[in-house]
Amino acid sequence: MNDPNAQQIAHWNDASGHTWAELGPLLDRQMESVGLRTMDVLAPRTGERILEVGCGCGHMTVTLGRRVGPEGAVLGLDISRPMLEVARRRAAEAGLAHVRFVEADAQVHALEQGAFDGIFSRFGVMFFADPTAAFANLRRALRPGGRLTFLCWRSPAENPVMTTAKSSVKHLLPPDTPPAPGAPGPFAFADPAHVRRVLEGAGFADVALAPHDAPMGGNTLDDALTLALRVGPLGSALRANPELVPQVRPVVREALAAAVHDGAVWHASATWIVTARNP
């Protein structure tokens, strides 16, 4: 495979992609409010053409489609075939013929130049091997004055929603090696200076990062436990060490139970809502 993001493509078409496709409703419930807040910042208007990068199972893509209406168009781009199968089914069931999906790598895919009014992403742009090249490619797809809005994680220390489960069983897991700063992964854009360098290097103007702090969750304890064991940092560790699941499960359940409020698990989350403009 010659794609510069070959490792990520393999990852999201293997166990991770199938798991996210299976658990999509739980993940959507957990991330919906922060995704909608980010979409409000983009402010898609009736008749606009919007590109969603890393659209996954299409929950936000369908919402974008409703906001631009049939006079507009939405293209969802993702490298995960299992998730795109869910996305296409979801858009068809919603009767949104102006919403379509393409299985492609946004870093290198030949997008129509100047075709879009806006680009949106909810946690979908932190996985590029060469983020500057990827955003340069995306910028070319925007019309002059077109806007970019995406959501990304701040640091792990600020995000109990991402770290509580794994931290609670750190003593039971093999030691791991932290990724290099800026390496592809959930926290690749935690450093605002790095984000600015990438976007300005890609030719964007008016780059701004607004911190967004909000509780994230909403799933029952059983559903939150399922997510913790199968996705995120702990899910990755357990895919490599499945024999540890029986030991880990009760400890993680106890840690999550401490975060139950009004029948659902909630944790603090800390993100950046990043905006920029194509000059």
3-state per-residue secondary structure call for the chain? CCCCCHHHHHHHHCHHHHHHHHCHHHHHHHHHHHHHHHHHHHCCCCCCEEEEECCCCCHHHHHHHHHHCCCCEEEEEECCHHHHHHHHHHHHHCCCCCEEEEECCCCCCCCCCCCEEEEEEECCCCCCCCHHHHHHHHHHCEEEEEEEEEEEECCHHHCHHHHHHHHHCHHHCCCCCCCCCCCCCCCCCCCHHHHHHHHHHCCCEEEEEEEEEEEEEEECHHHHHHHHHHCHHHHHHHHHCHHHHHHHHHHHHHHHHCCEECCEEEEEEEEEEEEEECC
The verdict on residue 129 lying in a domain is yes
- CATH code for the domain in which residue 145 is found: 3.40.50.150
Tell me the residue range of the domain where 143 lies: 6-158+178-216+268-277
Confidence band (pLDDT; 50, 70, 90) for 1?
A: very low
C-alpha to C-alpha distance for 198 and 22, rounded to whole angstroms: 33
For residue 19, tell me if it sits in a domain: yes
* Residue 52 placed within a domain: yes
pTM comes to 0.94
CB-CB neighbours of 187 under 10 Å: 22
Per-residue tokens: 261 = 């409020």
In a domain, 197, yes or no: yes
Q: In this structure, is residue 117 part of a structural domain?
A: yes
Cα separation of 173 and 88, whole Å?
A: 38
Domain total for the chain? 1
Give 240-258 pLDDT, tens digit per residue.
999 999 999 999 999 999 9
Average pLDDT, the chain: 95
User: Model confidence over 231-244: pLDDT tens digits?
Assistant: 999 999 999 999 99
